[in-house]
Amino acid sequence: MSFIEFSKKLLKNYFIIVTGITMAIAFLGMNMYPNERIPYDAFLSPLILGIVAILPSYIFYSKNELTFKQMLFRKILHFILLVITQLGFAYVTGLLKNAEVTFLLAISVFAVYLFTMGISWIIDSKTAIDINRELKKMRE
């Protein structure tokens, strides 16, 4: 896969991640701070967190096809880097106020990670089905 194709895939994942982060912020906000109102600049948070979240994904770039072990290793390393970058960014920006918030953020990162992987799998599965359908038509 070329670097441009890989970057296009990451751009698709960026928008999925931003959606997941927005949902996580809304869910946590409604449950932890139901009476507070957020300022307009808070709408930029998911966009910035999405950029921070997408950066570790470049660990998956390879010109050659990865083996199952290589992909598994990179997925584990990616998740660890993702948690470190998200918690590190939250710490630097002062979002981590106590252990409870840190724990909830870590759980949210995991939930958004699963959400992104699930949506990407659905999209890739649909693409594979369409390609196989077209190949079958060509053989007939």
| Residue among 116, 137, 119 nearest 127 (CA) | 119
Alpha helices in 33-98, H assignment, sequence order: 45-54, 68-92
- State mean pLDDT over 105-110: 90
Mean residue pLDDT across the chain:
90
Tell me how far apart the 2 most distant CA atoms of the chain are, in Å. 63
If DSSP codes are grouped into helix, strand and coil, which group holds residue 36?
coil
The CA-based angle 93-97-99, given to 5 degrees, is 125
- The ranges assigned to domains in the chain are 3-139
Determine the pLDDT at residue 80. Answer: 94
User: What is the pTM assigned to this prediction?
Assistant: 0.78
Lowest mean pLDDT among 41-45, 66-70, 114-118, 132-136: 41-45
- State mean pLDDT over 64-71: 91
